[in-house]
Amino acid sequence: MTLKPLLFGAALVLACGEAQSADLPPAPAPVDYVRVCDAFGSGFFFIPGTDSCLRLRGRLRTEVRYRNQAEGQPIGLQARGGVRGASPFFARARGYWGWDHRTNTDIGLVRAFFRGFFTKNSSNGTATALHLDYAFIQLGQVGTWTLGFADMIVEPVFQSYVLDHSFNTVGYDEETVIAQYVYSFGNGFSVGALILDPTTGAFGTSTRTTGTAFAGVPFTAPAYGGLRLPSLGAAATYDGEVGALRLAGLIQDISPANPTTAAAAGRRGSNDHALGWAIGVSGLANLPFGTNSKIGFNAQYTQGILQFLHEDATFLPVGDFTANLAGTSTKLSKGWSASAGFSTEIIDRTTFNLNAGYTDIRQNFGVIDVRWYDIAANLQHRLTDNLVLTAEAHYREVFASGTRDSDAYSTILRAQLDF
């Protein structure tokens, strides 16, 4: 066999191979696999092609409630999410979703956080639009700035060990438009200050308490005027291994919409203002006995900022201020509240929680004084790391001057899955 045929055959094979490769699609680009970002805790991953970390989170909870309708009582107590005249039973489903984005930059860590939820109640058969729960940006190198809808440093470090959806909790609990700065000294100590818009608070309601009038109850809901100044707050906090402690204060512009008062004083209505203020102390402590045992407390006092005492103030016949019958004078309402709680793991994955609170509000010009107390207890069992079942009972009694007392109780069964 001569060399020529072999060379000819090899050339023919190479030519055919080149012709076939010209018809093939281009090779795919290398895959940029998602990498785990463990600098900020579990669940974060690097966004491909960037140095930013992202965590996607969600929650789904379903529950059924029973609440007495308290028929014939002088002060009706809100059946949260339900229609009182229809049925004491109702079911609820709520889905949360959100994300947490973090990037290290030349000005320090920059964080963008969002969370919202949808709710459907069987009582009215309709689903809500998306409710913006949290939406804020945090940044800073020396201290941390927070801009947007976020938890405020004037809130108690102890809120509640039990659910707050039957009767809301004692203590200022708002997520509102703010500019907030916190400086940490290390070893758990920090101080902070904030500016907030009191016209919009949690669930789109006003942080200014105007109360709810009831038939036969001597109360006229006060009307607010324009906002002259934003509200200001400050807090000092310790948060360490043994527990947490916070001292906080808030001042707020009180502007009655009462032209009669302004005319009697020979002033314009926009100048008829007062300054409301509030102060609170709260704490958490880990106990040396039991399994995961903890106690918590908070106490608040205010003149003119009743929602600093209790979120439910707006659903009762109380207002930040009251006016005399002639409408020529207004005075700020005063009040205080306190609550305490205990939590312990009684058996593996099952926790017992107990809470009790008291609120007392005094108004002027013969308008009724209102005081009430709450007590609630629940059992929470963790079926898995993400799935929790809860059974809770809650009782409240309201006392108002000049009327007989009102009471209400509710029970809740809930399943909640976080992912």
Strand partners, 392: 378, 412
What does the pLDDT read at residue 141?
80
Mean pLDDT, range 235-256, rounded to an integer? 94
Strands 321-323 and 175-186: unpaired
Mean pLDDT, range 390-413, rounded to an integer? 88
pLDDT-derived band at 330, boundaries 50, 70, 90: confident
Is the pLDDT score of 12 beyond 70? no
Lookup result for tokens 């789109």: 204
pLDDT-derived band at 86, boundaries 50, 70, 90: low
Strands 321-323 and 330-332: antiparallel
| DSSP line for 47-58 | PTTSS-EEEEEE
Strand partners, 358: 338, 373
CA distance 228 to 273: 9
CA distance 222 to 224: 7
Lookup result for tokens 């940490």: 184
More confident residue, 53 or 151: 53
| DSSP line for 286-311 | E-SSSSS-EEEEEEEEEES-GGGTBG
pLDDT tens digit sequence for 125-160: 566 778 888 999 999 888 899 999 898 899 999 988
pTM for the structure as a whole = 0.84
Beta strand segments in 220-369, E: 231-239, 243-254, 274-286, 294-303, 321-323, 330-332, 334-347, 350-362
pLDDT tens digit sequence for 54-68: 999 999 999 998 877
Tell me if 110 sits within 8 A of 139, measured CB to CB.
Answer: yes
Is the pLDDT score of 112 beyond 90? yes
What does the pLDDT read at residue 25?
66
What does the pLDDT read at residue 80?
45
CA distance 396 to 51: 51
Exposure of 379 by Cβ count < 10 A (0-12 exposed, 13-18 middle, 19+ buried)?
A: middle
Dig out the tokens for 350 from the structure: 């099952």
Strand partners, 122: none
- CA nearest to 151, candidates 114, 171, 176: 176
- Longest Cα pair distance anywhere in the chain, in angstroms? 126
Mean pLDDT, range 329-352, rounded to an integer? 94
CA distance 74 to 55: 49
What does the pLDDT read at residue 71?
58
CA distance 214 to 316: 9
Q: What domains are there in the chain, each with its CATH number?
A: 53-418 (2.40.160.10)
What does the pLDDT read at residue 6?
46
